[in-house]
Structure 1
Amino acid sequence: MRSWGAAAILSLCLAGPAAASPASVAGRWLTEGGQAIVEIAPCGAAICGTIAKVLKVDPKAPKTDVNNPDPRLRQRSTGNLRILTGFVPDGSRWKGEVYDPRSGRTYKSFLKAQPDGTLDLTGCVWKLCQTQSWAKAG
């Protein structure tokens, strides 16, 4: 029979249960309303998402990032624009930032893969949050 020392028992108690990683969110996703396909993939040590294709073009919408708070970025195209940045595991979800090119604002955000195969994107300003549900794109 093996005897456990006090130090071994204490280290087991302090370690606690192993942290679970959130489900993968990598892939191509159709945004709510079917406006665009966003491709989510690793970028460095984090996860990022880029507009891969605009499906519903608004002829009145600007073709460049005119609302960006950084004047140097206002001439970049809104096609192929990185809108999800810095997502890292946060319990059962991913935490990072989402950029809205329509407003030029960046919001604290969360991504979570759902059991039904959809992806929930939640953007927050202070404690006010709004969630969109994205479908897997073929």
Structure 2
Amino acid sequence: MIIRRVTFAPIAMAAASLFLLSASAPAQRSIDGTYIDQGGYVEITVAPCGNARCGDTTRIVRTKPGESNRDRHNDDPSLRNRPIVGVEILQDLRWDDGAWRGRVYNPEDGGTYRAEVRPAANGALEVKGCVTLFCRTVTWSAAR
């Protein structure tokens, strides 16, 4: 009688490797939805745009004191008279290394910055904009 010794070590190691890989790479989390900016002034709707995600202003909740409903701080003078509603705030967000990464346009200063976006508690959205090493993070609450 021949006894074959079956070893499960290679199978167990492969399974453990797959588990570790999936545990170390955070699962892609949806950011699609409608949010209110940190000041409560505009509503931004995040949705697919091609193979990425984008966020457009969809409604003015209340007018900021001293501001118009135009994109008057835009770096491009030809865009300074366009309405804020419809402006793409989050641009070309793609899932990469545990966050949505792309660009964010700030109508308060007319600048476009490198962005990192993540879902936050209570359905909110954490938006971080960076220039070189300097970053600012804001939280947009879920629209109700």
- Higher RCO (Cα < 8 Å, 6 or more apart): 1
Task: Find out whether 1:27 has 2:33 as its counterpart.
Answer: yes
Identify unmatched segments of 5+ residues in structure 1. Answer: 3-12
Distance 1:93 1:72, change over 3 A: same
Task: Find out whether 1:108 has 2:114 as its counterpart.
Answer: yes
Task: Find out whether 1:55 has 2:55 as its counterpart.
Answer: no
Q: Whose radius of gyration is greater, 1 or 2? A: 2
Show the counterpart of 2:88: 82
Q: Report the alpha carbon displacement of residue 101 of structure 1 after superposing the two structures with TM.
A: 1.4
State whether residues 43 and 58 of structure 2, in contact with CA within 8 Å, keep that contact through their aligned partners in structure 1: yes
Show the counterpart of 1:9: none
How far apart in 2 are the matches of 1:82 and 1:119? 16
Show the counterpart of 1:126: 132
Q: Percent identity?
A: 32
SS of match in other structure, 2:39: helix
State whether residues 22 and 91 of structure 1, in contact with CA within 8 Å, keep that contact through their aligned partners in structure 2: no
Q: Report the alpha carbon displacement of residue 26 of structure 1 after superposing the two structures with TM.
A: 0.2
How far apart in 2 are the matches of 1:50 and 1:36? 10
How far apart in 1 are the matches of 2:57 and 2:95? 22
Q: Report the alpha carbon displacement of residue 98 of structure 1 after superposing the two structures with TM.
A: 0.6
Show the counterpart of 2:79: 73
The count of aligned residue pairs is 132
| Letter in structure 2 aligned against 1:45 | N
State whether residues 93 and 110 of structure 1, in contact with CA within 8 Å, keep that contact through their aligned partners in structure 2: yes
Task: Find out whether 1:64 has 2:94 as its counterpart.
Answer: no
Show the counterpart of 1:5: none
| Letter in structure 1 aligned against 2:47 | A
Alpha carbon RMSD of aligned pairs, Å? Answer: 2.6
Q: Report the alpha carbon displacement of residue 27 of structure 1 after superposing the two structures with TM.
A: 0.5
SS of match in other structure, 1:34: coil
Q: Report the alpha carbon displacement of residue 50 of structure 1 after superposing the two structures with TM.
A: 0.6
How far apart in 2 are the matches of 1:58 and 1:77? 14
Show the counterpart of 2:3: none
Identify unmatched segments of 5+ residues in structure 2. Answer: 1-5, 8-16
Q: Report the alpha carbon displacement of residue 72 of structure 1 after superposing the two structures with TM.
A: 2.7
Q: Report the alpha carbon displacement of residue 82 of structure 1 after superposing the two structures with TM.
A: 1.0
